[in-house]
């Protein structure tokens, strides 16, 4: 129990640290723009204050969007969203009588996004981690695919039960546990490894693909959501890599079609 509590505290501290650094960088960026404001104003000559405010907002927004285009940041943002949705279920669980409609409105999008998130990570993030990672990317990928299977199993079991019943809460609980464990590990291992060793341009290119895919797939409709054998996943990647021509650029990300398996 003490170890679990300590791990939980460590994870919470890491999350707070990541969010704090992001907030600090965003504030710093805004601060720099404000210092440069007189020069920017000179450059725009006769623009009035309203127009300048619009230009300033546009610049700041663009900087934030560039920072958020990094696939590792987009994955982190989704992880934060997952935690929020499970917290909403806590609030709903405390209500009597149970509000099944409200539970369903939180669970359905959460269940879909958990599956779509794992799907796209396996499609575009883990193949690139296997290529670019330097800290046991194979081990990190094997762990991740195994964890994704546990999350998929939990989602499938919850979807097979009636919302708000005991079996449903048990399956939701298993999903949450598997997902919490996985997110902490993925953030400490794969995401950290990739952020430190993959070029920024690649992270942004993958981030754009990730965003587009998530926007096109608000649900799992049309996607084959199925468990994968972790060892076969890594071996298939190695086989495909050996038959690839040697190309160290990332103009082609080598991720295959995003339209399905």
Residues that bind Fe ion (CB under 5 A): 75, 121, 186
Choose among 79, 62, 63, 71: nearest CA to 253: 71
> What end-to-end distance do the CA atoms of the chain give, in Å?
41
Question: Which is nearer to Fe ion, 36 or 77 (by Cβ)?
Answer: 77
For residue 183, the minimal CB distance to Fe ion (Å) is 6
For residue 143, the minimal CB distance to Fe ion (Å) is 10
CB 21 within 8 A of CB 73: no
In whole angstroms, what is the distance from residue 148 CA to residue 230 CA?
10
For residue 21, the minimal CB distance to Fe ion (Å) is 19
Question: Which is nearer to Fe ion, 147 or 163 (by Cβ)?
Answer: 147
Question: Which is nearer to Fe ion, 103 or 116 (by Cβ)?
Answer: 116
* 246-258 residues labelled b (16+ CB within 10 A) or e (exposed): eeeebeeeeeeeb
For residue 107, the minimal CB distance to Fe ion (Å) is 19
- Sorted by sequence, the CB contacts under 8 Å of residue 180 that are 6+ apart come out as 11, 83
For residue 153, the minimal CB distance to Fe ion (Å) is 14
For residue 166, the minimal CB distance to Fe ion (Å) is 28
Question: Which is nearer to Fe ion, 121 or 193 (by Cβ)?
Answer: 121
For residue 155, the minimal CB distance to Fe ion (Å) is 13
Cis bond before residue 99 (omega within 30° of 0): no
């Amino acid at each position: 129990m003490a170890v679990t509590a300590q791990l939980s505290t460590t994870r919470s501290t890491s999350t707070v640290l990541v969010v704090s650094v992001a907030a600090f960088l965003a504030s710093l960026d805004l601060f720099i723009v404000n210092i440069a404001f007189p020069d920017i104003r000179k450059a725009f000559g006769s623009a009035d204050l309203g127009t300048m405010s619009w230009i300033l907002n546009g610049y700041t927004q663009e900087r934030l969007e560039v920072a958020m285009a990094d696939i590792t940041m987009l994955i982190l943002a989704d992880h934060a969203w997952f935690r929020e949705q499970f917290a909403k279920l806590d609030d709903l669980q405390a209500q009597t009588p149970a509000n099944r409609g409200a539970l369903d409105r939180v669970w359905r999008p959460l269940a879909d996004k958990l599956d779509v998130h794992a799907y796209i990570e396996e499609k575009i993030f883990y193949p690139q981690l296997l290529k670019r990672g330097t800290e046991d990317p194979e081990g990190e990928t094997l762990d991740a695919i195994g964890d994704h299977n546990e999350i998929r199993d939990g989602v499938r079991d919850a979807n097979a039960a009636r919302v708000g019943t005991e079996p449903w809460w048990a399956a939701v609980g298993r999903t949450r546990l598997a997902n919490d464990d996985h997110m902490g590990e993925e953030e400490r291992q794969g995401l950290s490894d990739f952020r430190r060793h993959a070029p920024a341009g690649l992270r942004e290119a993958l981030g754009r693909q990730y965003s587009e895919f998530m926007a096109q797939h608000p649900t799992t409709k049309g996607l084959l959501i199925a468990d994968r054998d972790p060892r076969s996943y890594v071996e298939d990647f190695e086989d495909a890599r050996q038959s690839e021509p040697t190309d160290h650029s990332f103009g082609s990300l080598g991720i295959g079609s995003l339209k399905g398996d």
